[in-house]
Structure 1
Amino acid sequence: MVIFFGTLGDYTSGIKYLNLGQQQEIILPRLRAEILDNLGMLTLKSRGDTVQAMKNFELAQSLALSENDSLRYAKILGNQAAVFEGMKDYRKALSLLEKDLEISRSIGDKRNTIFALMMQIRINIARQEITDVPHMISEAELLLSGSDDKKTILELEIHKLHLAIHNQEIGHELDARRRIERLQDSLRFLDGDPVLSQLKFMADKQKYADKLSLAQAVIKKKQAERRLWLILSLLVLVLFFFVYNAVRYRARKRIRDYEYQLLNLKYTKAELDRELMSSKSQVEEYVAYLKRNNEQINVLSALLEEKGNNIERDREELKILLQSHLITEEKWQEFKLLIMKEFPNLLQEIQSKFSDITESNLRVIVLMKLGLNNKEVANVLGVTPDAIKKSMQRLKKKLGNQAGVLMEYISDKEFV
C-alpha cells in the first residue's frame, strides 16, 4: 500500500500508513528498518525535510546493522547518497554509493546495483567527470539485459546521449536520440507520466467515492435516527395523553368518592345526634354513642391525613366535622347533668375519694370508668393518647398510695 501511494505521488497517505505501521506493538526489527527507510524517502519527497529524512535513515541503518541485513543497509546508503546529491555534496554522495555498490555486488542484488550505478553516472555527469562513465554504463547495460525496465533503460540512453554530445560523436548522438524517442513513445502508453496521472486520478476518484458513500451512509443514519426520535416522541405523547386522562379520571373518581364519604359521615353524625337526643336518660346509650363517635373520629382523622394535598376548603370542612364529634366543655356539662340524674352520688363519690383531682382529671376518670380506653378517651377529648397517659401518670404521682385505689375504682365498671 505504501509503494502504491508513493508511486502515485500521494506521499501524505504513504507517510500516514508507515507511521501506523510503526505504532504496532509487535514488529520485527527488519520490518521496522524497512518502514523507517521508506519513511525517510517519502519525507524527503513530500516536504524536502532532509533533517527528518536523515534521522529516519540513521535509525533504519542501526536496525539493519544489528540484524545483519546487508541489502537493507545498502539501500539506506543509496538513499542517504540521494540526500547528499540533492544538497550537491557530490563527494559525500559518491562515497556512500561506493559502499552501496560494494555490498550490492557482493550479495548479487542486480536491482540495487543498477540503482546505485545510475545515481553514480548521474553525479559524475553533473560534475563533468566522465572518464569512468562509459564503464559504468556498460556495467548497467549488462545488468539490464533481458530486463523490461524501460524507465531505467530510457534514463541510461539519456546518459549515453549526454556522453555522445560531450565527445562530439554525431552518429552515437543520433542513435541515442532515436532510441530515446522510441522508449518515450512506449512509456507514454505503458509506464509514463500520463499513465501515472491516470492511476492517481482513479485512486483519488475512488477515495472521494468512498468518502461520498460514507457521507451518504452518515446522512441516512441521521435520517433514520430522526425518524426514530419522531416515532418515539409520538409514542411518548400518546402515552402521556393516556396517562394524563387516566390520572384525571382517577382524580375525579377520588373527588366523587370523597364527597360521597363526607356526605355519609355528615349523615352518620346527624343520626348519632338524633339517637343521643332520644336516649339522653340512659348513660349506657351515651357510652354506645361515644364508641360510635370514636369510629367516626378515626375515619375523619385518616381522611385529613390522606387529603393533605387537597384544597383548603375540603380540609376546613373535615376539621369542622371532626370538631363536632369531640366532647367540648358544653357537651361535658350536659353529660355531667345526665350522670348526676342517673347516678346522683357518682361524681361526689369520686371527688370525695380523690380530693386532689381536677376537672380535667374527673373527665378522664369518668370516661375510663364508662369503658373507654386511652385512645378512645384521647379521640373524644381531641388530644393525643400520650397526653392522656402523661396526665394519668401525674395524677398517680400526686395521689401517692391512693393511686392503686384509683385504678381499682376505674376498673370496676359498676356505678353506685
Structure 2
Amino acid sequence: MRTIIALMCLLLPAMVVAWPGQTDFLSVLKNTNRENRLTVARKIYNDQLIHLDSTQAFVALNRMYQWATNIHDMPLKIFSVMAMGDYLKEYFSNQRNGKALEYFTTALNMASQLELKESEAEIYNNMGWLYYKQDKFPQAFEYMIRANNIIQKIGYENYPHASRYLYDLGYIYCDFGNYEKARLYLTEAIRYSFSNSLYAIRTLNTLGLAYRELKQYDSAILYFNRGLDTARAIHNVAWTGILSGNLGSVYYFLKHYDEAVPLLKTDYELSMASREWTSAANTIIMLADLDLDKHLVQAAALKLDEARDVLSRQTDRRPFVYYALQKARLFKYQKRYDSAFAYLDTARRVVGKLNQRRDALVFSQAEQKVAVELHLSEIKLLESEKSKMVLVRNFIIVVILLVLIIAAQLIFRQQLKQKKNKELLNNAVRQLHYYIESVREKNQLINQFKQEIELLHAQPEQYIMLQEKEEIAAKLKQYSILTENDWNEFRNLFEKVQIGFFSTLKQRFPDLTPSEQRLLALMKLNLSKREMAGMLGIAPDSIKKTRQRIRKKINVIDDVALEELVASL
C-alpha cells in the first residue's frame, strides 16, 4: 500500500498536462454533496475516464486521489485507487496484471480498515474478474465467493452494484456452458439499474447468447435487438457489429438467410474496423458455412482463407474449432478425405484442450484458503469465553460454504464430462460418415474400372493397347478393397459410435467368424449388398450365402429377423 501511495505522490508533480474537460469533472465533484459524491465519481469514471488512453486516465484518477486525500474523503480515495486497477484490468489484464492486483490490494486494505463492506465486495469482485480473464479459475472463484458472502448479507436490493455483480456471475456461467443458470442471473441483473451503458449492452448480449444456446430464439432476438438499440444510441461501433452478428446468427439457425446475411456482413465490416478479431473470425466462418450450404465451394474457400488470417490476430481458441469443422466440410466437397479427417481430428484436440482449461478442480485452492482462514480465526476467537459462540457460528458458515463448493465442483465435473463425451461421440459419427462415403467412392471407381476392362476385352485384340490395360489395372489396385489396417481403423471408429457392439456379438454368438462379424457390422450401418461386397472383397452373391450361414449359426428364420436382431445390438 505504501509503495502505491508513494508512487502516486511522485507522479503527481509531473502530471501537469490536463486532458480536455479534466477541470470540469473536478468542479462537478466539488459541487456535489458528500453523500452523492462517490456515485457521481463512479459515473464520471464509467462515462468518461474509462474511454481515455492510459496516460490521460491515470492523470485524471491521480488528481481525483489527491483531492480526496486533501478533503479526507476516504470512500472517494478508495474508489480512485480501485479505478486504477479496474482500468488496467479492462485494457491490460495480461501485460500488467501484477500492477492491477497491487491497486486492488491497496484499495482493499483501506476499505477493510474502515469496514466499508460495499467497497470490499466491489473490490473482491474486481479481483475475481481479473483472475478469470487470466484463466486463473481457482483464485477467480475464491474472490467471487468472498464478494457473494458480503453481498448476500447486504442484500442484492440494497447493493448499489447489483446489476454489475449479477452480470459477472451470469457471464461466467454462460462461458462455462451452464446457460440456464446464466439466464437466471442475467435476467435478475436487468431488474436493477446500470451505472454504465456498456455494462447494459454486455448484459443484454450475454442474455441473448444464453437464450440462443437454449434454442429459445424469440427471446434471443428480443435481447439482441435491445442491446443493438442501446449500442446504436451511444454510437458504439464495436458492439453494433458484435450484436448485429449475434442477431444474424439466430436468423441463420432459423434458416432465415435473407435476414441473416446482411447482419453478418455488417458485423464483419464493423468488427474488422474496430479490431474485434474474434467476432470478425466467427462471422466470416459463418458466411463460409452459408456458401457451403449453397455448394459455392470456391467462395467458401476464399472466406476461410480470410478467416485464417483473422484468427492469427487473436488468441481465443474457440473460433478455431468452428474454422476446422468448416475446413473439413470444404475438403469433403473437394473429395479430399484425408485432409477432412485431419481437420476433424484437429477440432477434436482443440475441444479437448478447452475442456481441460475448465477443469472442475478449480475450487480446490479456494477450499484450502478458506480452511486456513478458519484456523486463524479460531485461534483469535478462543482468547475469550465470549468468542466461543462466534466461533461455532463461523464454523457452521464455513462448513456450509465447503459443502456448497464441493457440490458445485461435482456438478461442474459432471457437466464437463457429459459435454466432452457428447462432442467425442459427434466427432466419431462424422468421421465414420466420411469414412463410409470414401469407401462408397472407391467402390464406384472399382465398378467403373471393371466396366472399362470389359469394354477393352470386347474389342479385337489388335486394338487393345497394353499400356492402357496396365493403367486401368494400376487404378483398380489403388482403389481395391480395404486392407487389414483399414479394417482396424474402421473398427475403432465403429466402436466409438456403436459402443460395445463387437463385445456383445462375441458374447452372445461366440461361434461367428471374424468375417461374419464384419458383415454384421456393415449391416448395422444399413449398407447395400453391393457396398458390403466391395468392402469385404467378395461377390454380391457371396453376401447372400454368408447371411444364410449366419442365420443357421444363430438360429434366425429369415433376413428380416436377422436385420432386426442386428438393429437391437
TM-score (ref. length: structure 2): 0.33
Q: Which has the higher contact order (CA 8 A, sep 6+)?
A: 1
Higher Rg:
1
